[in-house]
Amino acid sequence: MNANFEQLTLSLETPHEGVVLLDGTKNYAEFQQNDFRRMNISGTLSFASHAEYDAFVAYEARRMRITIQNVNSGMSLGNVLSLDNTAFLGYYGIRFHIPSMKFLSWSTPIGGPNRLQTSFTAKAEYDDTIGEMFRVELNNVTSGYGA
CATH number at residue 58: 2.30.110
Is 145 contained in some domain? no
Return the SS3 of 54.
Answer: helix
Q: How confident is the model at residue 9 (pLDDT cuts 50, 70, 90)?
A: very high
Contact of 15 with 34, CB cutoff 8 Å = yes
* pLDDT tens track for 71-103: 666 666 655 555 665 666 667 788 888 999 988
Is 35 contained in some domain? yes
Contact of 1 with 47, CB cutoff 8 Å = no
**Whole-structure pTM over 0.75, yes or no?**
no
Is 30 contained in some domain? yes
Is 118 contained in some domain? yes
Is 124 contained in some domain? yes
Is 42 contained in some domain? yes
Over residues 34-53, the mean pLDDT reads 82
Range(s) of the domain holding residue 41 = 4-139
Is 147 contained in some domain? no
> Distance of CA 129 to CAs 49, 71, 99, 113, Å?
29, 32, 9, 41
Number of domains in the chain: 1
